[in-house]
Structure 1
């Protein structure tokens, strides 16, 4: 009986410990340098100082949020279009365009930055959202 109680709170405790470690790493990455140093070669620094990791994390979250909102708007609009009788013929074209844009080479060609990162997330999120929505609207199973 006591073992069942431990099993109930152990996942929550593990999540809490991982969140605390993540917050500690994002706010003070230098604390983890001794742990990461054995993984380096030729006396390379274990942690490169590219600015505040917290700031970089918040900028990343902002980029993902912008792209996800844009992807949702575009995907829902396209999904609504292709599930109507007048737009059914555009479904294959929309899938081909989005799948073609999903190429991993996009970021390399455009050389990075906020716009490219947001575009990559928009395309990736948009494709899956369109597929899920159109499958539901057309009565198919989603994977």
Structure 2
């Protein structure tokens, strides 16, 4: 019920932000706008989500195959190298990645996508690796005993059983990216960071609060949605995930 109420409040605010003016008015100076008026909050939210979705999809397409490769005999020796690569995003702060990417890619969404992509690799890679290397030995032996090939075991046994753990990594990556994407507005990317930056520049607490609360609400709702998907996948595999 609380999550449903949060969703209703979020949609109401994005579609009819002016209705919240009386609540936010005490937070601003006299004659200053209480509702962000330099663009559409709904549009910025959708663009923010699009940026996160693109970066996360790219991270999945790289991290999952990489983890699969290093769990095969042919690619086991590349595990240290792979771990080093996916740790780059955690080693360099997103702000530093943006600073390095802007001279090459210019201002806008592209540097932000690079930063979010690098930042999102580690949780997806590590969870996929964990999911594939902690499978019940009895199940794997049974799969081999039925005469399955390596590819058949991968797609029919290993990946289905590892799906809940992989989804947990994706969930973590998405939530991290939702918060981190706000810094993209420092290089002219269209994200909810625009609202926060505008509030800082104008000393407008209401703007800062709006940007932060929208990102926080999105993080909670998406976290819960992905957690529900994870639980469904766990039940199908016979695992118990809270």
Please report the TM-score for the alignment, with normalisation by the length of structure 1.
0.73
**Which consecutive unaligned segments of at least 5 residues does structure 1 have?**
1-11
- Is 2:54 the counterpart of 1:66? yes
Is the CA contact 2:63–2:121 (under 8 Å) kept in the aligned structure 1? yes
1:106 match: 96
2:77 equivalent among 89, 97, 102? 89
- 1:108 and 1:46 map into 2 onto residues whose CA distance is 31
SS for the counterpart of 1:76 is helix
CA–CA distance in 2 between the matches of 1:80 and 1:94?
Answer: 11
Q: Which residue of 2 aligns with 1:29?
A: 17
Q: Is the 8 A contact 2:89 2:120 kept in 1?
A: no
2:132 corresponding residue in structure 1: 137
| Alpha-carbon offset, residue 65 of structure 1 | 1.6
Shift of 1:91: 1.7
- Counting matched residue pairs gives 130
From the two aligned structures, give the one with the greater helix fraction.
2
Q: Higher mean Cα deviation, 44-53 or 122-131?
A: 44-53
- What is the TM-score of this pair, normalised by structure 2? 0.46
Q: CA RMSD in A?
A: 2.6
Counterpart of 1:51 (choices 39, 64, 76) is 39
2:5 equivalent in structure 1:
17
User: In structure 1, what is the equivalent of residue 158 of structure 2?
Assistant: none
SS in structure 1 at match of 2:134: coil
Cα distance, 1:119 vs. partner?
Answer: 2.3
The whole-number CA distance in structure 2 between the counterparts of 1:45 and 1:96 is 48
| CA distance in structure 2 between the aligned counterparts of 1:16 and 1:138, rounded to whole angstroms | 37
Post-superposition offset of 1:107: 5.0
Q: Contact (CA 8 Å) 2:69, 2:75: kept in 1 or not?
A: yes
Cα 1:107–1:38 change in 2 (3 A) is: farther
1:127 pairs with 2:115: no
